[in-house]
Structure 1
Amino acid sequence: MKSIKQFIYLVFAVMFSYSYAQQTPASPQKEAISIKGATAYIGNGNQIENSIIVFENGKITYVGTDQSQAKGKVINAEGKNVYPGFIAPNSTLGLVEVDAVRASDDERELGKMLPHVRSIIAYNTESKLVESMRPNGVLMGQITPRGGRISGTSSIVQFDAWNWEDAIIKENDAVHVNWPSGFSRSGNWYDADRRYEQNKDYQKEVDELKTYFKSASVYKETSQEIDLAKRAMQGVFDGNKNLFIHVNGEKEIRDVISFQKEINFNNLTIVGGYQAHQLADELKEAGISVLIQRVHSVPNFEDDDYDLPYKLPKILHEAGVLVALEGSGDMERQNSRNLPFYAGTAVAYGLDKNEALKMITLNTAKILGIDDQVGSLEVGKDATLFISEGDALEMRGNKLMKAFIQGRDISLESHQTELYKRYSEKYENE
């Protein structure tokens, strides 16, 4: 009986999820498009007043102030702002649709060392959550698996595609490792007397991870024996893949820095990095970049500054560390649309606005290894950008007028905007 009820719930969930069809992906760009008169926030720290931006065949061909460069269809954006598309790294968008429906949850696999698990083949371009990112200017993301000691391999996509093959910007860009934690919290989250307890197996777990990496580094494939997991690791050692290590504690981050020196690889990024500011100088010297945990968080410890999560981007930036913002955590897929507001909060706590913008555009692109394609409004890059009526890092100002992905004029409608319009009309008529 229980299984029958679960089946019925699943059927209704699927029927409801398809009652609002996703917007059809836009057609390829057919003519030149010029955006005229806007303030262009380039994404590299610069901005241009009364700008002209031209793009053809999905690529930017001119950015400047010479109005005579306009060609093709001209969009008058006077008084508006133009931004490069925002990028959401370390995201599970498209891997889970409804948390309570197990059949729609494909963010993790069983096992411990899973570098060969590729998130991209599970990515759902029809996801309603993915579609709802676009009205806030979040047009791209790094789709990342979860679970295990080595979760798997991520890929980077744009959010207007028929299928995952169409969506790819960079396939198999990075391997993701969950570093062991030196401490764990006892009890449930609602217990007032929860305490941190030392992980007695911490060093054993670190040694196990090191042994796996050393074994993978000397792996030689033969026709008689193929290890798919170790084959997937080879890109980390030859520089074709980045390594993303998810870690937060000061001791653990220090051990990651030592791990980098011992294994000797270059493309390393720390994800989370709650206490990264304690080791900012060491991170800069080692050339390790940081994807900072969700800015809209509360402090982890009683003796932390109340505003530490808000000002962490500024602290690390001023120390010379390459920083970008990510949004993993509770309800991370729904909250990914708040990415520009994480940057806006960092501005409110002292970070320069153009530097904050870089943390969700060009800095992110550099960390992901796609800065030759996206991340800034520069000639030769993809025309993935949008026009906002106001400041896109501020909730009231982030109101998109137009958005383009690789030059395609994409829809900004979603099931949420449809419901907004429906109920707006209802109350307007009463």
Structure 2
Amino acid sequence: MKDHIIKYIFSAAVLFAVCTVAVAQPTIYPAKPQQSTISVRGATIHVGNGQIIQQGTLVFEDGKIIYVGEGADAPEAEHTIDAQGKHVYPGFIAPVTNLGLVEVESVRATVDYAEVGENNAHVRSLIAYNADSKVINTLRSNGILLAQVTPQSGLVSGQSSVVQLDAWNWEDAVYLKDDAVHVNWPTVRFSRFGSTNVEEQKDRIKRERVLLEDFLADAKSYASGDQKVFNARLDAFKKVFEGSKKVMVHADKKNDLIAAIQLFKRYAITPTLVGAQEGHLIAPFLKEHGVNVIIHQAHALPGKDDDDVNLPYKQAKLLTDAGVLVAYGMDGFWQQRNLPFMAGTAAAFGLDKEAALATITLNTAKILGVDDRTGSLEQGKDANFFIADGDALDMRGNQLEKAFILGKDVNLDNLHKQLFQRYEHKYSQND
């Protein structure tokens, strides 16, 4: 009887797999490298640095932009794209995301953004990045062409990397390897269920801050000496002290932000703040210390009951007006496709439209350290851009027609579109 049940279950599983394959949607392959010189003519070009070129021309070759301007002196191209009435934007960049590190959150085996332990400075998110994630294609369809893949757990989460979103594997995807170490600043954590023990919270925060300070002291000593024994955790900070790797501190409360900046300044490190829900309250302090901020998504409730209900929409403008370099980030992975609409909301609440665009393009590239290659449409930079039939910061106008990553003509199909077409066909048969 037992064998019969096992055979039945096995047969059902095989049948399900066969049926799944039979109805599977077309596979989306990474694009081939650029083969010929291409010119995009007649579009409104949003350079990304605040400049707009009406009826502009962009020419790219071998994955690099070789011309951006009004077109009178543009070089000859083998192929021309007529973009009259269209808009050309730099590829959007999604910072601090677990994209490609998780596919099904309810299954532990597919969750690679969280590791066991408090100090995981040695963990590299890049080698766990899944370039085959179905979510990636949905981001490209909304103009997001690069992302900073980031671990999240523990006191020191590990190292993020910047990837381009059209690749066969993580080796192909890498754009900037191990760009930053991420620290979750010790703070009060409110329990979703039940009360929060204040004394336990204080003890935990004190313990974690001592742990972090001891680790920084050890890392500084390790980086300055000739170590005979390799320590992966300490070695992760070696390039931080050399100035070639960043530290990103995840914190929200005003006092936590100040304490974090002061601690890292003692080690000659200027951290980037991630979250910074109360960053606008200390904007002059952030400006004084040259601290950049990746703020949370605008489509959210304010942190305090007595805050202005529109504060999340206005925060980018408040910080920008104070002279702080600001970029937008979002939680999780599947929401990243809505990133351009965060910038659009900031523009609706007072931030200049092109400055809002910069919060997901050039500003982000500067904060991540890739602005010499991407973030704006300038000669010599990588051809990471897209053509849209409308305003890309508005969900009504974000209609991509073409996108290019390193000059590659990227496939803009995705599972959402495939399912829409599938069921549109099904129900149209009944008409």
- Taking structure 2 as the reference length, the TM-score comes to 0.92
CA distance in 1, matches of 2:17, 2:321: 48
Distance across 2 between alignment mates of 1:423 and 1:347: 36
Aligned-partner Cα distance in 1 for 2:288–2:166 = 39
Q: Does 1:307 align with 2:310?
A: yes
Alpha-carbon distance change, 311 to 405 in structure 1, aligned in 2, over 3 angstroms = same
Superposition map of 1:219-234 within 5 A: 219=222, 224-234=228-238
Pick which of 245-254 and 205-214 moved more: 205-214
Separation in 2 of the partners of 1:186 and 1:66? 59
Q: Displacement, 1:204?
A: 3.4
Residues 85 and 187 of structure 1: is their aligned pair in 2 closer, same or farther, counting only changes over 3 Å? closer
Aligned match for 1:80, one of 86, 101, 104:
86
Q: Displacement of 1:424 after TM fit?
A: 2.2
1: distance between equivalents of 2:99 and 2:19? 21
Residue 257 of structure 1: how far off its partner (Å)? 1.9
Greater Cα radius of gyration, structure 1 or 2: 2
Alpha-carbon deviations, 1:330-358, whole Å to 9, x = none? xx211100000000111111111100000
Q: 1:68–1:401: structure 2 CA closer, same or farther, 3 Å change rule?
A: same
Q: Structure 2 counterpart of 1:285, which letter? A: E
Give 1:214 deviation, angstroms. 1.1
8 Å contact kept, 1:186–1:196: no
Report the secondary structure of 2:266's partner residue.
Answer: helix
- The within-5 A match list for 1:115-194 is 115-181=121-187, 183-188=188-193
1:277 to 262, 275, 280: 280
Runs of 4+ in 1 over 4 A off after TM superposition: 7-18, 194-198, 220-224
Displacement of 1:304 after TM fit?
A: 1.1
Mapped to 1, the partners of 2:282 and 2:20 lie a distance apart of 49
For 1:147, give the aligned amino acid.
Answer: S
1:30 aligns with 2:35: yes
DSSP 3-state at the match of 1:317: helix
Matched, 1:321 2:324: yes
Q: Distance in 1 between matches of 2:27 and 2:240?
A: 36
Could you tell me which amino acid in structure 2 is paired with residue 405 of structure 1?
I
Per-residue Cα deviation, 1:343-384 (whole angstroms, up to 9, x for no partner): 011111111110000000000000000000000000000001
Tell me the secondary structure at the aligned position of residue 313 of structure 1: helix
Q: Number of paired residues?
A: 417
Partner amino acid for 2:395? Answer: M
Instruction: Name the SS for the 2:373 alignment partner.
Output: coil
- State the distance in 2 between where 1:53 and 1:66 align: 8
2:202 maps to amino acid: K
Report the 3-state secondary structure (helix = DSSP H, G, I; strand = E; otherwise coil) of the residue aligned with 2:160: strand
Considering only aligned residues, what root-mean-square deviation do their CA atoms show, in Å?
Answer: 2.4
CA shift, 1:21, in A, is 5.6
Identify the match of residue 292 of structure 1 among 291, 295, 303.
295
User: Is residue 220 of structure 2 the alignment partner of residue 214 of structure 1?
Assistant: no
Identify the residue that residue 402 of structure 2 maps to in structure 1: 402
232 and 15 in structure 1: CA distance in 2 versus 1, 3 angstrom threshold: farther
Asked if residue 249 in structure 1 is aligned to residue 253 in structure 2, the reply is yes
| TM superposition shift of 1:195 | 7.3
Counterpart position of 2:100: 94
Corresponding residue number in structure 1 for 2:358: 358
Q: Deviations over 1:80-138 (max 9, x none)?
A: 00000000000100000111222211111111111110000000000001121111000
State the 1:224 CA deviation. Answer: 4.7
Q: In the alignment, is residue 104 of structure 1 matched against residue 107 of structure 2?
A: no
In structure 2, distance between residues paired with 1:265 and 1:16: 52
Contact 1:185 1:197 in 2 (8 A): no
Q: Is the 8 A contact 1:184 1:196 kept in 2?
A: no
Q: Which runs of 5+ in 2 are unaligned?
A: none
SS of the equivalent of 2:104 reads coil
What is aligned with 2:64? 59
Q: Residue 172 of structure 2 aligns to which amino acid in structure 1?
A: D
Distance in 2, matches of 1:231 and 1:391, equals 45
Quote how far apart the aligned CAs of 1:263 are.
Answer: 1.6
1:15-66 Cα offsets, whole Å, 9 max, x none, are 9699446411101100000000000000011110000000000000000002
Structure 2 letter corresponding to 1:243: V
Aligned with 2:240 (options 218, 236, 239): 236
Q: Secondary structure at the match of 1:219?
A: helix
Q: Tell me the residue number matched to 1:419.
A: 419
Q: How far apart are residue 231 of structure 1 and its match?
A: 0.8
Alpha-carbon separation, structure 2, partners of 1:213 and 1:349 = 40
With the length of structure 1 as denominator, give the TM-score of the two structures: 0.92
- CA contact 2:155–2:208 (8 Å) conserved in 1: no
SS in structure 2 of the partner of residue 51 of structure 1: strand
Q: Which amino acid aligns with 2:51?
A: N
